[in-house]
Structure formats: structure tokens, C-alpha cells
Amino acid sequence: MFAVDDKVIYPGHGVAKVKQVVDKSVAGTEVQFYELLLFKQEVTILVPVANVNHIGIRPLSTQDNVKDAFKFLAKPAKLVKNSDAMQPNWNKRCKDYQERLRTGNLQEICSIYRDLQGIAGYKELSFGEKNLLKQTEELLAEEIAVVQGAQVENVAAKIRESVGHMLS
């Protein structure tokens, strides 16, 4: 599915590069693994090739996906009073957001980021929500920067600006 030097998304952790494909013996059975090097943390992870889809590892988004992401971010969040996103139980919201974040889906990450920015316009975010907002911004900025060949800081500013128009 992936080749050496391919850049992929490891859900919840960001962009990784396939360093190599290795065979290891696990409980007497030969298993093939992707050795992934995460860009941000310089951590190496072994992922069984057979589990790639289950884990949600995917190729980088396309330029068109990135354009769609910015269009999505520029639209107002669909927050309605009494919706799940506005429930006072921030812990429940965070668990839902964490589950969605683990999908690694660019659109889901955009949705979480936009929702949290929208909530921040109504009330102060909890500590957990602030951390989640930061994490989603970092994940978005890292992937988009790699796709566009741009600096992560510049992309993060563009993301904030896109959502900023929506909050005005």
C-alpha cells in the first residue's frame, strides 16, 4: 500500500515518513511492519501492514482537499444552543472530539477546530478544550504545510485567519 519515503498521516500524531518495511517474527509468525518516522516528534513507530486501515493511516491530502478544508474552515460553525457542542459537560465534548480526531480525517479535524473556535466565541474553553484546539491546529498546519511545501507557522496563521473571518 505504501512505499519507502511515502509521507502518510498517522491519526492523532501527524505526518510521518515510511522509513522502511521490515519483517519481524511475532509469536512465531512472520509479520510485515511499516517503520514510520513522525515528523514533529522524531519518534519511530512500527505499524503492522495488515493494521494500516484499522489504525487509519492514510496518504497525505491532495491540494484539492486542502482547498476544500480552507473553504470549510471559512464557513460558520453550525452551533445551536443545546446542541452537543454547546453542552456544559466539556469532558463529554472532548471525548467525542478525541474519537473524531483519531480518525485522522482532514475534514473531521477541520470540523473539530472550527467547532472549538465557535465555542470560544460564546464562552471560555476549558483547559482540555484549549489543548485540543492547539492539537487540531498543529495537525492541520503540519499536514497542509507538507502538502503545500510551506512553513508550518505560516499555514497556522492562515488557518486562524480563515476561521477568524467566520468569527467576525
Q: What is the pLDDT of residues 63-116, one digit of tens each?
A: 999 999 999 999 887 654 445 545 557 778 788 888 898 888 999 999 999 989
* pTM: predicted TM-score of the whole model, two decimal places: 0.86
Residue 165 confidence (pLDDT)? 56
Residue 114: give its domain's CATH number: 1.20.58.1290
Query: Is residue 168 predicted with pLDDT exceeding 50?
Result: no
How far, in Å, CA of 47 to CA of 22, rounded? 10
Q: Is 93 found in the same domain as 53? A: no
pLDDT in tens, 16-66: 999 999 999 889 999 999 999 999 888 899 999 999 999 999 999 999 999
- Asked if residue 89 is part of any domain, the answer here is yes
Q: What residue numbers bound the domain in which 132 lies?
A: 63-167
- Among 59, 81, 100, the domain boundary falls at 59
Q: Is 143 found in the same domain as 76? A: yes
Helix (H) or strand (E) holding 37: strand 29-38
Q: Is 81 found in the same domain as 49? A: no
Q: Is 73 found in the same domain as 55? A: no
pLDDT average, residue stretch 125-144: 93
How far, in Å, CA of 55 to CA of 104, rounded? 9
pLDDT average, residue stretch 11-20: 94
Residue 50: give its domain's CATH number: 2.40.10.170
Query: Is residue 12 predicted with pLDDT exceeding 80?
Result: yes
Q: Is 55 found in the same domain as 68? A: no
Query: Is residue 163 predicted with pLDDT exceeding 90?
Result: no
pLDDT average, residue stretch 141-157: 96
Q: What distances in angstroms separate CA 75 from CA 21, 44, 71, 111, 146, one per listed residue?
A: 41, 37, 7, 10, 24
Residue 98 confidence (pLDDT)? 87
Q: Do the bridges between strand 7-10 and strand 29-38 make them parallel or antiparallel, or are there none, so unpaired?
A: unpaired
> Of 1-15, 69-83, 131-145, where does mean pLDDT reach its minimum?
69-83
Q: Is 145 found in the same domain as 83? A: yes
**Bigger pLDDT: 150 vs 78:** 150
